[in-house]
Amino acid sequence: MDVNIQAIHFDASERLVSFINRKAERLARRYEAITTLDVTLKVVKPETAMNKVAVIRAVVPQLDDFVADKTADSFEEAVDLALEAVERQLEKKKSKK
C-alpha cells in the first residue's frame, strides 16, 4: 500500500509522519484491498482551537474511494478520527457484500 502524506502550508514533523505510517500499516493489515492512502493535513485559522484538519482517502480498486475529513486539536487526534471513520465505511461496505 502506498501512503501519500501532503502537509499544506507547513512541514510535517518526522514524528507525525511516522505516526501516520504506523496507523496506515495497521489499517493495511485489516484491509489488504487498499492500494493507496492519501493523507492531507492542513491548519485552518491558526489562532483558534480545533484547527487541525486531516482528510484521508483510501483507494480500493473495484469498490470505491473512501474519504473522511476530521477536525481536532492535534493532527494525531484528527488522523485517528479520520482513520476510524474510513474503517467504519469499509466495514459497512464489507457487510453489504
Average pLDDT, integer, range 86-90? 93
Q: Is 13 helix (H, G, I), strand (E, B) or coil?
A: coil
Reference 39, options 88, 97, 78, 87; nearest CA is: 78
| Lookup: cell for 11 | 512541514
Reference 82, options 53, 61, 59, 60; nearest CA is: 53
pLDDT tens, 53-84?
Answer: 999 999 998 888 999 999 999 999 999 999 99
Structural domains of the chain, ranges and CATH numbers in brackets: 2-96 (3.30.160.100)
Reference 84, options 60, 59, 66; nearest CA is: 66
What pLDDT was estimated at residue 9? 87
**For residues 4 and 36, is the Cβ–Cβ distance under 8 A?**
yes
The CA distances from residue 35 to 20, 32, 64, in Å, are: 16, 8, 11
